[in-house]
Amino acid sequence: MVTPGAEHKEKASLETIAKYTLTMLRRRVPPAVPGIMFLSSGQSEVEATLNLNAMNQSPNPWHVSFSYARALF
């Protein structure tokens, strides 16, 4: 997710995070990719869930979800 850096004083709104994250994904991830899973990246589970919910308020070409466990490679 596109979020301000740790040293940034102001917290971005859910809508701002969703807007910039989806803009970046639309520019870089082909619609043929079936889904995108996010890891917490230092966010709490609640914070990550709220950000994900904001992203899912608009139509997306892929399923966007969150993984509460480690990534599997």
Angle CA(46)–CA(18)–CA(44) in degrees, nearest 5? Answer: 20
Average pLDDT over residues 31-58: 89
Q: Tens digits of per-residue pLDDT, 11-26?
A: 899 999 999 999 999 9
Between CA 32 and CA 9 the distance in angstroms is 37
pTM of the model: 0.85
Is it the case that residue 62 has pLDDT exceeding 80?
Answer: yes
Average pLDDT over residues 41-58: 89
70 has pLDDT over 90: no
The chain-wide mean pLDDT, for the chain, equals 89
Which whole-number Å values give the CA distances from 8 to 4, 11, 36, 50, 67, in the listed order?
Answer: 6, 7, 26, 20, 25
